[in-house]
Amino acid sequence: MDLNRLILSGLLLVSITNLAEAAAFGNPDGSGGTVYALGSDIIIASDSNDFKELYIPEYTNSDWRAKYPSILKSNSSPNIQTRRYYEIKEKKWLQAKFYIFEASYEFGPKIEVQVSYDDGKRSWQQAFLVGSIYAEQLGYIPPDLRKATHTITIHNYYNGLMGGNNNIIIFEKRGAEHIEKGSIEEALFHEATHNYFNTMLFKKENPFYGLWKQAQSKDNDYISYYAKTNDFEDIAESFIAYYAVKYKKERAGKLKDKVLTAIPNRILFFEGINLNLTHLPTPLNSIHKPSQAYQIISSADQRAVDITNNGLLTLKPASTDNSQLWQLIPKADSQYGSSNRYHIRSMQSNDYDYKCIDVINGGRDDQSLHLTKCGNYSGQLFSLKPVGSQQYQLMPLWQKNLTKSAAHHSPTLNCMSVIDNKGLQRLIITPCNDSLEQFFVLRPY
């Protein structure tokens, strides 16, 4: 049985009101969270790592590598700048001098690496070596999760790690302890999660915030004592547990059952985020052009999504008709957030009357999909969730419990699906599952 079936079975079998026996990880004082409980082998050295190099920013447009040997022998840094950092003891922002480097990765943006100047006690060479260690470890973090981390700050002013404000603070003593234990990758994953989700938690009008709170309340338990601290720690603690049972389930061992029992609804929520937690790029990456035409091919029978005369969506044999051609328009300006959200716009549209796939009546009636005038509506904003080799589920941002039974258990995550209605195949939204009727291939035309 694959993990999706296991999760769905768990949701049916586990009574949300009877979770008192589900064991939380860690200790009542908040120590020993999921990073420690799940062990140091969730992410290992042989896993994908897209780190390329650490370099000096002002040499990015020149042949800095040729100059590197002379710089390495120099006692002065080519780049010392003042940056602000968060001082946990005083609970306020302070400023100090840092050696500034940049780390580049195969996928995703560069990250500024700030290493403490230590009042001149640390040489540039030492700073470079320390920065290289953590920049490389960040290469293990899935690029889509890592993209919300813009900087890392490395210094000796406290003992711990901290994520937030698109920054990860690494206090060297604790960082060294994680390296020795082999858990630095998991610790950085936890902190990167803060950067990715904190905006959602701060902006409570974000529709995903409501889904998160609903999942949280229906689970009626926490993955660890540390997760009980606040929403920020709950989501970071829960997300690495989700990653372990979803992507590294063979390494989670017996702890997998504890995770699935304790937080089934949070897991379902994370499934709906459609965050790609692999190092494999999706077809709609930075080189995607909105003008590119696609056919949307059903994995169930290899037929293409088409439009009926009354504007409903159906499947027909693939052809060159423009009724089967679609453009995926990124909606970075959406009030609902910019992460992997697209209008699916018909190429039958003209420049004055763009038509997009939408959920009829906001999901009432029979949840059919049809074409209507494009607008900034959650029923028109779709995301792509990788589910196999070149296969994706198309998930509207609009989410609602479609059945009474689902409403009793968890927020429902909905996907575009094919149904057969008296010999006519139609496109509707239904609760997400792992059937081929919900898997589609985006074929460039």
175 with 323, same domain?
no
The residue with greater pLDDT, 50 or 71, is 50
Per-residue pLDDT, 313? 94
Average pLDDT over residues 329-339: 58
pLDDT of 134 reads 96
Q: In the block, which residue shows the tokens 């603070």? A: 169
- 113 close to 100: Cβ distance less than 8 angstroms: yes
Q: For residue 401, what pLDDT is reported?
A: 55
pLDDT of residue 400: 64
Q: Is residue 423 part of a domain?
A: yes
Where does the pLDDT of residue 432 fall: very low under 50, low under 70, confident under 90, or very high at 90 and above? confident
User: Is residue 287 one of the residues assigned to a domain?
Assistant: no
Question: How sure is the predictor about 412, in pLDDT bands with cuts at 50, 70 and 90?
Answer: low
Q: Which domain holds residue 323?
A: 294-444
Q: Final residue of a domain: which of 281, 302, 321?
A: 281
- What is the rounded distance in angstroms from the CA atom of residue 67 to the CA atom of residue 179? 31
Residue 203 lies in a domain: yes
Q: How far are the Cα atoms of 267, 426, 430 from residue 11, in angstroms, in the given order? A: 10, 28, 17
Q: Does residue 345 register a pLDDT over 90? A: yes
Q: Which residues of 116-130 are buried (b: 16+ CB within 10 A; e: fewer)?
A: bbbeeebebeebbeb
Distances (CA, A) of 264 to 13, 227, 434: 11, 15, 17
Residue at 288 is within a domain: no
Specify if 136 maps to a domain. yes
Residues 303 and 274 in one domain: no
Beta-bridge mates of residue 384:
394
Return the pLDDT at 324.
95
Q: Which two tokens stand for residue 48?
A: 């994908």
Query: Do residues 221 and 337 share a domain?
Result: no
The size of the chain, in residues, is 445
Residue 286 lies in a domain: no
Residue that is last in its domain, among 258, 281, 304: 281
Q: Provide the mean pLDDT of the chain.
A: 79
**Taking Cα atoms as reference points, which of 401, 275, 404 lies closest to residue 340?**
275
| C-beta separation of 304 from 313 below 8 A | no
pTM over cut 0.75: no
Instruction: Give residue-wise pLDDT tens across range 138-186.
Output: 999 999 899 999 999 998 766 678 898 899 999 988 898 889 888 899 9
- The pLDDT assigned to 67 comes to 52
**Over residues 336-357, mean pLDDT:** 77
At 25, the pLDDT band (50, 70, 90 cuts) reads low
Whether residues 204 and 308 fall in one domain: no
* 188 pLDDT more than 90: yes
The answer to whether residues 215 and 222 touch, using CB atoms and an 8 Å cutoff, is no
Q: For residues 304 and 442, what is the distance between their CA atoms, to the nearest angstrom?
A: 10
Q: Where are the alpha helices (DSSP H) in 33-165?
A: 34-37, 64-73, 124-138, 143-146
Which of the listed residues 248, 281, 314 is the one where a domain comes to its end? Answer: 281
**How confident is the model at residue 366, as a pLDDT?**
61
| pLDDT of res. 367 | 81
Regarding whether 273 and 317 lie in a shared domain, the answer is no
Say if residue 185 is in the same domain as residue 91.
Answer: yes
Average confidence (pLDDT) over 349-362:
79
Six-digit token string for 267:
């897991």
| Total number of domains constituting the chain | 2
* Closest of 108, 101, 148 to residue 124, by C-alpha: 101
At 5 the pLDDT is: 30
Same domain, 270 and 300: no
One-character DSSP codes across 229-254: G-HHHHHHHHHHHHHHHHH-HHHHTT
Confidence class for position 135, pLDDT limits 50, 70, 90: very high
| Bridge-based pairing state of the strands 151-155 and 167-171 | parallel
Tens of pLDDT along 203-250? Answer: 777 778 888 998 999 997 899 888 988 889 999 999 999 998 888 878
- Whether residues 77 and 209 share a domain: the answer is yes
pLDDT at position 317:
94
Q: Can you read off the two tokens belonging to residue 110?
A: 């560069």
pLDDT beyond 60 at 68: no
C-alpha distances (whole Å) from 79 to each of 53, 99, 430 are: 17, 6, 55
Q: Is residue 19 part of a domain?
A: yes
- The overall longest dimension of the chain from CA atoms, in Å, is 79
Q: Report whether pLDDT(441) > 70.
A: yes
Higher local confidence (pLDDT), 272 or 83: 83
Mean predicted confidence (pLDDT) in 335-348 = 72
Domain membership of residue 341 (yes or no) is: yes
d(C-alpha 53, C-alpha 45), whole Å: 17
* E strands in 323-423: 326-330, 342-346, 355-359, 369-373, 382-388, 391-396, 414-421
- For residues 237 and 190, the answer to whether their CB atoms sit within 8 Å is yes
pLDDT at 379: 87
**Per-residue pLDDT at 445:** 82
Identify whether residues 127 and 173 lie together within a single domain.
Answer: yes
Whole-number pLDDT of residue 428: 92
Residue 49 has which token pair?
């790592």
pLDDT at 200: 79
Does the pLDDT value for residue 82 go beyond 80?
Answer: yes
pLDDT tens, position by position, 357-410: 998 764 454 688 999 999 988 889 888 877 766 788 898 877 665 544 443 444
pLDDT of res. 36: 65
Q: What is residue 336's predicted lDDT score, i.e. its pLDDT?
A: 43
Q: Which pLDDT value is given to residue 315?
A: 94
Q: Do 139 and 273 share a structural domain?
A: yes
Q: What is the mean pLDDT of residues 38-47?
A: 82
Co-location of 274 and 353 in the same domain? no
7 and 153 in a single domain? The answer is: yes
The pLDDT of residue 208 is 81
Supply the CATH number for residue 396's domain.
Answer: 2.80.10.50
